[in-house]
Amino acid sequence: MSELRHRVLVPVDVLAGEGVADSLVRTLASVPVVLLGYHEVPEQTAPGQARMQFESRAQEELDALADAFEAAGGTVATRLVFTREPLKTFERIAVELECDAIVLNNPAPRLDSILMPLRGDINVKHIAKLVGSIAADTEASITLFHVRPDEVEEEGPVEVLTEAASILVDEGIGADRITQEVQTHASPSEAIVDVAGSHGLVVVGESEPSIRDRIFGDPSSMLAKRSVTPVLVVRRQILEMDTSEQEERVETLAETADEFVDEDDDQDVGSGDVDDANTSPTSTGS
């Protein structure tokens, strides 16, 4: 890695026995990963109550997953959150830890191919660069996929796919690994679900203002629910960056890299009773 351009959030429901597929672990080895262990707490239970009981177990699971990422050569920071609303947590952590994309986890059997569905109206530059840096150290093939609405009678290559392909090649992906595929289908999301199953990872851009809104019942979450393939959702903020913003971002990532590694020294989550660390309780019962 010459420069740090991307950071990916991987939420894992640790206590539900959810793991991260080895293939996905290897694929994500080339980008820094925030491994977010979460446990969804029902409203009958105070989050602290669940934490009291499950923290050590959840932490063990999370550490084991982090070990797997490290064993594959990746860089990992971990977070453990007990939450009532996992999506809100994903969103908050993605913003706090400057993550560019978030993986909606699914048990991919093997990750030998990446599906990139692309619409005509999005800026493919950043999404293609991100995929490039993820795929650079792997052998995975990349399928650039575009769905034409039924009524359009068009032939020939689609501009957005050509553009994405050339960015990928610039990122060091061999042209022989890149396939362009165009389908005609009334519902693009249906078409994507149909082909997603034969790929190891689907990368989509976030189109709503937030990951959370986006995930609520629309393409990316539907995709994750209806297929067995993990979905990487690239945050909108990243998709829309211009060049100077991107440079700033690379700097930010480099600056926060230390914190990322040793987050106990930072991550000031607010004022509150930080200066009160010495009053942590020692209620000793008998």
Name every residue whose Cβ is closer than 8 Å to that of residue 253 and which is 6 or more positions away in sequence: 4, 5, 6, 7, 32, 98
Nearest to another protein of 41, 164 (CB atom) = 41
Residue from 10, 77, 165, 201 binding another protein (CB under 8 A): 77
For 150, other C-beta atoms within 10 Å of its C-beta total 10
> What residues from 41 to 70 belong to the interface with another protein (CB under 8 A)?
41-56, 59, 63, 66, 69-70
Residue from 14, 20, 76, 204 binding another protein (CB under 8 A): 76
Q: Give the shortest CB-78-to-another protein separation in angstroms.
A: 6
- For residues 246 and 35, what is the distance between their CA atoms, to the nearest angstrom? 24
Looking at this protein, which amino acid is placed at residue 51?
R
Find out whether 114 and 143 touch, Cβ atoms under 8 Å.
yes
Q: Give the shortest CB-124-to-another protein separation in angstroms.
A: 27
Assess 228 for contact with another protein (CB under 8 A): no
Instruction: Compute φ and ψ for 38, nearest 5 degrees.
Output: -130, 155
Q: Give the shortest CB-10-to-another protein separation in angstroms.
A: 13
- The Cα-based distances of 26 to 64, 141, 254 in angstroms read 15, 14, 23
Assess 270 for contact with another protein (CB under 8 A): yes
CA atoms within 13 A on the CB side of 127: 31
Q: Give the shortest CB-69-to-another protein separation in angstroms.
A: 8
| Binding track, positions 233-262, relative to another protein; x by CB under 8 A | ------------------------x--xxx
